[in-house]
Amino acid sequence: MTTAIIGGKRYNSDTSQRVGEEGNGLPVNDFHHWGEYLYLTPKGAWWLHGFGGGATGYSEEAWGGGSTSGDRFRALTPDEAYEWLEKYRYEDKLEEHFSDKLEDA
């Protein structure tokens, strides 16, 4: 179970639907490894759990200097969730969650 409190709201991976997941597939001990999980809560709030190695945007400062792996949680607006799904080509999830924003070319 992964939980985060953001802006006074509790986000829980056990009660949220994992809508998508992306990453570069490198081993977790690689400094360049990263991954992201996109979630939707039962109340319709979007959130992202991202994690990565010391050479990624998710790194944290290590004791004594340098960097180490880390993770972050971020609440997303529906537009940000839409952009994430579009960026990683989750067409089926765009249809499922944002059909009202889609139109035929």
Q: Do residues 87 and 38 lie in contact, with contact meaning Cβ atoms separated by under 8 Å?
A: no
- C-alpha span between 1 and 15 (Å, rounded): 9
Q: What are the residue ranges spanned by the domains of the chain?
A: 3-76
Q: Quick: pLDDT tens for 1-17.
A: 899 999 999 999 999 99
Q: Quick: pLDDT tens for 12-63.
A: 999 999 999 999 999 999 999 999 999 999 999 999 999 999 999 999 998 8
- C-alpha span between 20 and 3 (Å, rounded): 17
DSSP 8-state class, residue 62: P
Cβ burial, residue 56 (10 Å; 0-12/13-18/19+): buried
